[in-house]
Amino acid sequence: MNCVYTYLIGCVIALIGISIISFSGTTMHLNPIGDILSVGAAMVWSFYAVLSKKMGAFGYSVIQTTRRTFFYGILFMIPALYFFDFKWDL
C-alpha cells in the first residue's frame, strides 16, 4: 500500500512539473486550450498508469491489458474521423 502512495505522489509531482512548463515561458504566449489539453493529457496518463498497475496486481497481464486499451482507443476514435473531415494524404 505504501508503494501506491509513493506512485501517486510521483504522479502529482509530474503533473506540477508539466503545469509549470505549460503555463510559463520566456515569452507570454498564453494558449489556454493547448495548456489545458497538455495538463489534461498528463492527468489521463497518470490515471491510466495507476489503473494498469492495479490490473497487474489482480493477475492480469500488463501487455494484454495495454493491447486491449489501445484497441478500444482506436476503435472509439474511428467514428471521430467522420466528424473532423479526415482525409488520407501524404
What pLDDT score was predicted for residue 71? 94
Residue 89 lies in a domain: no
- Residue owning grid cell 509513493: 6
Regarding predicted confidence, which is higher, 76 or 19?
A: 76
Q: Is residue 26 scored above 70 in pLDDT?
A: no
What pLDDT score was predicted for residue 11? 82
Cβ contacts of 20 within 8 Å, gap of 6 or more: none
Candidate from 5-9, 41-45, 67-71 with smallest mean pLDDT: 5-9
Length of the chain equals 90
State which residues form the domain around 19: 2-83
Residue 78 lies in a domain: yes
Residue 31 lies in a domain: yes
**32-58 as b/e: b if 16+ CB within 10 A:** eeeeeebbeebeeebeeeeeeeebeee
Q: How far is CA 89 from the centre of its chain?
A: 27
Quick check: pTM over 0.75? no
- Residue owning grid cell 520566456: 26
Question: Can you list the positions of beta strands (E) in the chain?
Answer: none
Number of structural domains found in the chain: 1
Residue 46 lies in a domain: yes
